[in-house]
Chain A
Amino acid sequence: MIRRIAPLLACLGLLVAWQLASLALKNDSFPTALEAIRAIPAVLGDKDSLVNFGASLRRMAIGFAAAVVISIPLGLLMGRSRAVASFFNPLLMVIYPVPKAALMPIIMLWLGVGDLSKTLVIFLGVSLPVIYHSFEGAKAVEEKMLWSGAAMGLSAVQRLVRIVLPAALPEILTGCRTGLVLALITMITSEMIARQSGAGNILFNALDMGQYDTVFAMIIIVGAMGIVLDALFERLRARLVRWSEPQFDIPLSFS
């Protein structure tokens, strides 16, 4: 029972702390949690807002899907081939620490101000953790399993698909889970400088106009989207890698 309500208690605790902090600070740019919550229906009830959220989520879905499709095979290859890892590792190490939103002005100049540049920023944000976790997952696969596969006549590609991919899947999905949160973050930050539609329209316009209840309402909405997406992904992950849960381990001793 407590385990079930623990996340709700955590959220409630955060809201109470926010409410108290806001009341204590008495700062116009820091509304109370109640004021922010009261602004949520106005944001979600506006037809334009829903169109904006739809546009952002569409870009996020495309960027995330493209990143997953490209990053998983690349990460697996890096994990199983030293040459591929040696080639890509330095490039990734250079790109990893760069804040992706900081690339937006440059990408905008190359690809224009439309959806493509924003989707690329999301793609870059998601791809690095997915590549890294796929790489680590593939690297950790026991050589003996691959030798057995080879002895049974599997080709290199077959070994990658039928042995490495399933074995690395728990690690890959951990990367995807991190990538999903980063997709949400980059979805918003990619709309900071230029936008034709998107959740950034609501957030950054409210910020410019000093409507802080709307700004914080948006923060709550984006946070809630993160919780929902993470919960959905966790369900999917649990289904896909149920076999890797500890209760399915074969006991080695009965002591």
Chain B
Amino acid sequence: MRHFTLLMVAGASCLLATANAAQAQQTIRVGWTIPAEESKYWMMRRPTEFPNLGKTYNIEWTQFQGTAPMTQALAAGALDCATQAPLSLSNGVVGGNLKAYIIAQHVFEKPGGFSVYWAVKDDSPIKSIADLKGKTVGISVIGGGTQGPFNMLLKQNGVDPAKDIKLVEVGFAVSEDALRQGRVDAVNLNQPFAARAEAKGGTRKLFSLSQAMPNIVHILEACRADFVDKNPEAVKAYVRDITSGMKKALANREETLKVVSEVLKAPVAVLDSYLLKDNDFGRDPGAAPNFPAIQKMLDIYAETGMLPKLDAGQFKHPTIVAPLE
């Protein structure tokens, strides 16, 4: 009988300990994609550098092909936090009744740094945006984040994006090839493909998104509002680690190249041509979201008819936002 009682007590203690551990280790289901999320790549590949990760909270990582499916997964409650673009997140709000907070920012177009641009062949007769009339123009995603500023620039230069050009979808990875093969007259380039095309020569920049507005935010980190409200401490710990991950990524470029190479399975030599250099996107040292820039982008999307008018303030949590130390 005594043995039985001891066993029962031991069993109950085990259950209690497990329950406590489960409570302490809240799992956050995080969606990610490639490229340009260096702070998250650090957390994935160098978890020991983040003392809270695995102790106060856990992460279940799922890789997605682009931000739009992650918006669906957030709206359906299949993810708690994910990489988002301002447009995809707003589409989730408008079409999917998603309520979310922007907790950090990954990359943006810093003045003087890399800006997504439309390129033409060196010998092309197209010299200005106005010359695009009647031409076939490639864009990475029709209806994607770059189209708002693109449409605006075309309109400003007297080109109707709906009638005056033939717009075709050409993914970034094949855009250079499509241009050189003559399948499109102009196409948008992103890193690392822009660096590769420039190294090879024979193409030139026609215009870039930064002409529409500076500080364009490309990707940010968003979490479902109900999840943040229910698990504020776990999300705070996550934001602290994103802040710390961004600092590590910027402070140690050599290690960051290795980390990114491990995640992207791309050779370090390819990444070295642009990553964290002047010809790369900008990264805020504290991963702080630039809400005024996001608001400006939402205004452009509204102006070009891609979204109704939205207030970026709805995405701002009063306390849980990078940088958190």
Contact = CB atoms under 8 A, between A and B. Distances in A.
Interface of A: 27-29, 46, 48, 105, 108-109, 112-114, 192-196, 201-202, 204-211, 214
B173 A196 contact: no
Query: Chain B binding site: helix, strand, loop or mixed by DSSP?
Result: mixed
Contacts of A205: 34, 264-265
10 contacts: A108-B73, A108-B76, A108-B78, A112-B78, A193-B64, A204-B65, A209-B34, A210-B192, A210-B193, A211-B265
A113 B35 contact: no
Contact of A194 (B73, B192, B262, B270): B73
Contact of B173 (A113, A192, A209): A209
A201 B177 CA distance: 23
Interface of B: 29, 31, 34-35, 60-65, 69, 72-73, 76, 78-79, 172-174, 176-177, 180-181, 192-193, 196, 262, 264-266, 270
Contacts of B72: 105, 108-109
Contacts of B61: 196
B173 A210 contact: yes
A31 to B, nearest CB: 12
Contacts of B176: 28
A195 B264 contact: no
A207 B62 contact: no
Nearest to B29: A113
Nearest to A104: B69
A29 B174 contact: yes
B265 A202 contact: yes
Contacts of A204: 65
Given A29-B174, A113-B78, A194-B31, A209 B60 contact: no
Contact of A196 (B62, B177, B192): B62
Given A109-B78, A113-B62, A210-B174, A193 B264 contact: no
A209 B173 CA distance: 6
A113 B73 contact: yes
Given A195-B62, A208-B34, A105 B69 contact: yes
